[in-house]
Amino acid sequence: MCIGDFNEVLHQHEHDGVGDRSLGQIAGFRDAVDVCELVDLGFEGSMWTFEKRVVGGSFCRVRLDRALATPAWNARFPLATVNHLTGVTSDHKPIILRWAETRRERRRMEDKIFRYELMWESHEQFRPHVADSWQAQGPAGTMTELKAKLTRLSSSLDVWGRNTFGSVQKEIRELEFRLGVLQSSTDRQGPSEEESRVVERLAALYQREETMWRQRSRVQWLAEGDKNTRFFHLRASQRKKKNRVARLMKPDGSTTEDDGEMAQLTGEFYADLYRSEGVSNMEEVIDVIPHKVTAQMNDTLLKPIKGEEVKSALFQMFPTKAPGPDGYPAHFFQTHWDLCGEEVTAAVLRVLRGEDNMAEINQTFVNYLKDLELSKRTVQQPAAATETIAPRWIPPPTGMVKINVDAAVGKNLKRGSVAAIARSSDGVFLGASALIYPGVTEAETLEALACREACDLARDIYASRVRVASDCKMVVQYLEQGTRGVYSHIITEIIEARQSFAFLEFKFESRKSNNEAHKLARSALCDVSGRRVWLDAPPEGMCIPVVID
């Protein structure tokens, strides 16, 4: 980890004031950071760490001070933060790095939330233990009984995981130390029987560790078994840091880090958000809505739901998507369907028939972006039913080509798509493209691939000065800061592609300004695999008229 005054910036926007910084020096600093495999840790507070009034009365401010760290350091301290403090006697503002979790963030073992671990399934005693624990409780007929049964099973698995399965990482550390001792023995004649057993056990533990970190990373497009443990670990660490709620702003403008106050603010916010404001004249609205459901379709929808449909719906879910408060992902039910399927189906059908209350399981976790400004929320009145709001397209500077990009995910189709639409600065259509990625359903990765597709489309239309607009802030941030993120190979390709353009920049824009690309990406999901390009005319029915700001 390196922290301090680097006397250079990574991007032009980190300099504000007289003159422009040397692009060559910026590129050199970026190269040094890349060669050292360092990542900018970001910051909280003011953008600038150096401020000075220069000759002539002009004012200059720059972000010269920063903290850079390797992926290994980031993995070890996933919640590290950098704060820009207020300076008084120096041109430079002090910066402080905090990497230790506070007492509030360290969860005690007894308060730890249960999570079903996929790596448990590699243990020979696991499935018999699940079967014994499930069958010992008797059949569950209602949703309440099913929830209680899952709760008792989670307690049993929690104890089994600690006492029988054990800590994978702790055992790995112990065996790696033992292997080092055996291999450094002065009288070693080759691999001993004990050394072979240790190596074999470590190989099994490494596989379990990879499974563990893949489950936490929520990466869907990369398979296990290719020694991707480090990648999964970094991805999981990044998710943990991104999802962390550090503080919330109260209605009076002050902030709080107290758990009780944050919980109360959260409840009040969502209670207000989902509170009905009342409706009027709904008949007038309904009268202008065209009928799309035919009598035959309605009869089909009203048919009684069968048990096979419950199973089919559950098995279409991605196995390791975020579990609810009970800690069980869809994978648990898919893997143990022969054990719990009959009871799960019966409970679900009771709810669907109106014979049971879904409130028992209708729970979820609330996740905020940190520093959510609750005091600035406003309630927007719905637009009139007859009003049509055209998407607003933001033009680039004169002489530049604007390429809007977006991605779409078809989880049931197990594929993703990306789209790019190019227009001149006066809004004239120049070209469009769409590309299917079978097996890729991770939204952020697809957004990065969409930016790469924009570069390919720009080459197709021979554009040299290009602005690419995406509605994914994280990807734009990675591209503009030169950091690699978890899809480093894609980011690297895009950064290298910049060399073939006179000017290429990436900007974040909201969805309302990016509707064309969104519609094209969604429609492309149903196309055959491959890449499609439109150069003469827009895709039929896709490029909608735009209102230019």
Per the CB < 8 A criterion, the answer to whether 461 and 401 are in contact is yes
Among residues 96, 93, 92, 101, the alpha carbon closest in space to that of 83 is found at 96
Structure tokens at 508: 């974040």
Structure tokens at 306: 């069968």
Q: Angle, nearest 10°, between helix axes 143-160 and 126-135?
A: 140
Task: Render pLDDT for 109-147 as a digit per residue (tens, 0 to 9).
Answer: 445 678 888 888 888 888 899 998 888 888 887 888 888
Helix (H) or strand (E) holding 195: helix 193-217
Most confident of 190-204, 319-333, 336-350, 355-369: 336-350
User: Alpha-carbon distance 546 to 548, whole Å?
Assistant: 6
User: Alpha-carbon distance 4 to 411, whole Å?
Assistant: 45
For 428, left (φ over 0), alpha (ψ -120 to 50), or beta? Answer: beta
Per the CB < 8 A criterion, the answer to whether 88 and 129 are in contact is no
Per the CB < 8 A criterion, the answer to whether 405 and 419 are in contact is yes
Which pLDDT band, with edges at 50, 70 and 90, does 407 fall under?
very high
Most confident of 57-71, 93-107, 373-387, 531-545: 57-71
Q: For residue 83, what are the β-bridge partners?
A: 44, 96
Structure tokens at 484: 């690699």
Label residues 263-301 b or e (16+ Cβ within 10 Å = b).
eebbeebeeeeeeeeeeeeeeeeeeeeeeeeeeeeeeee
Q: Pseudo-torsion of CA 471, 473, 475, 477, nearest 10°?
A: 140
Task: Render pLDDT for 456-499 as a digit per residue (tens, 0 to 9).
Answer: 999 988 899 999 999 888 888 888 776 655 677 888 888 888 88
Helices (H), 420-514: 443-460, 473-481, 488-497
Q: Provide Rg for the chain, Cα atoms.
A: 28
pLDDT at 454: 93
The set of residues, in sequence order, having a beta carbon less than 8 Å from that of 268 and lying 6+ positions away, is 374
Check residues 258 and 86 and name the one with the higher pLDDT: 258
User: Alpha-carbon distance 424 to 451, whole Å?
Assistant: 18
Least confident among 94-108, 376-390, 400-414: 376-390
Structure tokens at 332: 């648990």
The SS3 call for residue 127 is helix
Kindly report the number of other CB atoms within 10 A of residue 177's CB atom. Answer: 10
Among residues 489, 451, 482, the alpha carbon closest in space to that of 28 is found at 482
Which pLDDT band, with edges at 50, 70 and 90, does 100 fall under?
low
Structure tokens at 18: 């007289």
Phi/psi at 97 (5° precision): -110, 125
> What amino acid occupies position 80?
A
Which pLDDT band, with edges at 50, 70 and 90, does 388 fall under?
very low
